[in-house]
Chains A and B, each alone.
Chain A
Amino acid sequence: MKEDKQINMLLKQVLSVTKEPDDLLNQTIISKAKERNAMSKKKRMPMVAAAALTILALSGTALAASRFLGTEKVAEKFEDYKLADAFKGKDAVSINKTVQSDQYDITLLGIVSGTEISDYIATGDEEILSDRTYAVVAIANTDGTPMPSTSDENYGQEPFFVSPLIKGLKPWQYNIATMNGGYQDFVEDGILYRLMECNNVEMFADRGIYLCVSDTTFYSVDAYDYDELTGEITPNSEYEGINVLFDLPIDISKANREKADVYISEMETEEDEDSKEDEINESVDASALKNAEGDVEERVAAGTLLKDSVMELTADVDGAATYTYEAKDGSGVNLYVILEDIFAGIEEGFSPQTVEINGDEESVQYIVAYRKDADGKMYGMMYQFQ
């Protein structure tokens, strides 16, 4: 325990560093963000046929009669006119269903899915995501107290997690956080409106799709129960807090089992890769250790000795030595070694301990090796591997 504290202290001291970005770098970010905002605005094309407008105006009237803004108005608040059009289109599902939970009235206003139905570009890790699902939820205090506005310091004190969940798929694995999701909030007339988006979930329509709203930051296994046998997800009745679950009435004909299977397979592959990566990291560590204990002489024979790197190691009062090598370009190493440790049990030859260093180019690697001669002199040296 004492040693753990000691290393804890050491890490605190060594890793506690603060770096500041250049002002120019920050200015570049702000300028680029401005450019991108400008580009997004140029992409707005609210080209809706007059006939469609008439029909949509009617559905808009129906919603206007309720206490909430319509889904299209919510999209317009975020200056996403293309999405506003999608919410007025035939593929949108208007729901307008309210559930009371833990002193909040949670209303699912509507949902729409489709390809390129937003003015804004959603991006995954390295790709543009165009096939998306959007849903709007209104959250109000049951007692009528206004929800804090987004500029209020109390905003966000109570988190809300709004996410589609899919029957039969583990909700902690398939939710907004894992399906490239995001959300935006605004408050009007004391009501919080949330527009959430994620990868298109319509392909799962034949399985059954839910929309959960909980007072958590991420999916909570406490708020909901998942039956692994039936695939059913239900609110946990013993949960003290918000745990609403809506059934999403998405047209089953929109299901695409093949696409869904590919999606699930890709998600599982990603998870496998993550776990494999961990395993690989662990096996690489183990292998590195094994190599270090193996025949260093054989290993370094495959590399090129940097002649000017050979340095005699002279023990200081602590029995330690510093091996230093500086290359012509100014790069180098500076290693502190305890000689009796690295040459423990070795009368003559290479120490099993080496230090491996990645080169500037991916294909180049260096190994620092330590050798003891028959006369007892000890040397450090560096080998280069292509």
Chain B
Amino acid sequence: MNTREISELVEMHGNAIYTFCCSLTHNKIEADDLYQETFLKAIERKGKMHQNENPKSYLLAIAIGIWKNSRRKYARRQRIAPMESLNENSGGENGLSMELTKSITTEDRMINKEMCQIVRYEVEQLSDKLKIPLYLYYTLELPVENIAKIMKIPTGTVKSRLFKARKELKVKLEEHGYERR
């Protein structure tokens, strides 16, 4: 892979891969580390596998592999969730859309902001088996078929994991008053 190809790969898929790394690690330093390792491993492998066909999937599969095999290295550091992410980001660009919130009261919106934070926390508590397809599906908006290829599992399994994740989340969120929404 020459320098131009590497630059193109980073330019075209950097944001998606970085977003995914942030979702997995919840920590900028670790996200940077995982992101960098992902690209360097892809380059090291001379990774033409899927590179021309679907380089994003190839890179995501590598990121998942590194993440799974380096859990200790990427052991949760975020401890108690950072206050800034709870209070600042949860209702902004990452929070509920204006379209959805425009008809609800300020008070409701405050509750929704809290709910965003709770949802993120509860998603993070899920096992990798459920969490990874959830991030691929909702954060990167990949179709189930692509997720199946990336995770090397049948599409039916992806669907059942997404279903199970939603079901588990629903139970957890109900503990936080989700039913009232």
A43 at the binding interface (Cβ < 8 Å): no
Set of chain A residues within 8 Å of B81, measured between Cβ atoms: 331-334, 357
Q: Pick the residue among B79, B86, B115, B177 that contacts A10 (CB under 8 A).
A: B115
A189 at the binding interface (Cβ < 8 Å): no
CA distance A121 to B11 in the complex (A): 25
Q: Pick the residue among A218, A357, A364 that contacts B152 (CB under 8 A).
A: A218
CA distance A341 to B17 in the complex (A): 39
Set of chain A residues within 8 Å of B30, measured between Cβ atoms: none
For the complex, count residues of A whose C-beta is within 8 A of B: 78
CA distance A9 to B152 in the complex (A): 27
Set of chain A residues within 8 Å of B77, measured between Cβ atoms: 360
Q: Which residues of B contact A (CB under 8 A)?
A: 1-3, 6-7, 10-11, 14-15, 18-19, 22-23, 31-32, 35-36, 39-41, 43-50, 52-54, 65-66, 69-70, 75-83, 86-87, 93-97, 100, 107, 111, 114-120, 123, 127-129, 134-135, 138-139, 141, 149, 152, 166, 168-170, 173, 175-178, 180-181
CA distance A26 to B15 in the complex (A): 10
A218 and B149 form a contact (CB under 8 A): yes
CA distance A26 to B38 in the complex (A): 12
CA distance A15 to B23 in the complex (A): 9
- Provide the main secondary structure of the chain A interface: mixed
CA distance A203 to B123 in the complex (A): 44
A20 and B149 form a contact (CB under 8 A): no
Q: Which residue of A lies closest to B130 (CB)?
A: A281
CB proximity of B125 to chain A, nearest CB, Å: 8
A285 at the binding interface (Cβ < 8 Å): yes
A146 at the binding interface (Cβ < 8 Å): no
A269 at the binding interface (Cβ < 8 Å): no
B80 and A357 form a contact (CB under 8 A): yes
CB proximity of B77 to chain A, nearest CB, Å: 6
Q: Pick the residue among B36, B54, B173, B178 that contacts A25 (CB under 8 A).
A: B36
Q: Pick the residue among B32, B100, B116 that contacts A21 (CB under 8 A).
A: B32
Q: List 14 A–B pairs whose Cβ atoms lie within 8 Å, in order of A's numbering.
A: A4-B166, A9-B100, A11-B169, A13-B95, A13-B96, A14-B94, A15-B139, A19-B15, A19-B31, A123-B44, A125-B65, A185-B48, A333-B80, A336-B118
B36 and A15 form a contact (CB under 8 A): no
CA distance A384 to B87 in the complex (A): 23
Stretch from A31-39, A59-67, A103-111 that touches the partner:
A31-39
CA distance A331 to B94 in the complex (A): 20
A278 at the binding interface (Cβ < 8 Å): yes
Set of chain A residues within 8 Å of B31, measured between Cβ atoms: 19
Set of chain B residues within 8 Å of A331, measured between Cβ atoms: 79-83
CA distance A9 to B100 in the complex (A): 10
A330 and B83 form a contact (CB under 8 A): yes
- Contact status of A358 and B79, CB under 8 A, knowing A15-B138, A150-B52: yes
A122 at the binding interface (Cβ < 8 Å): yes
- Contact status of A19 and B117, CB under 8 A, knowing A7-B170, A366-B80: no
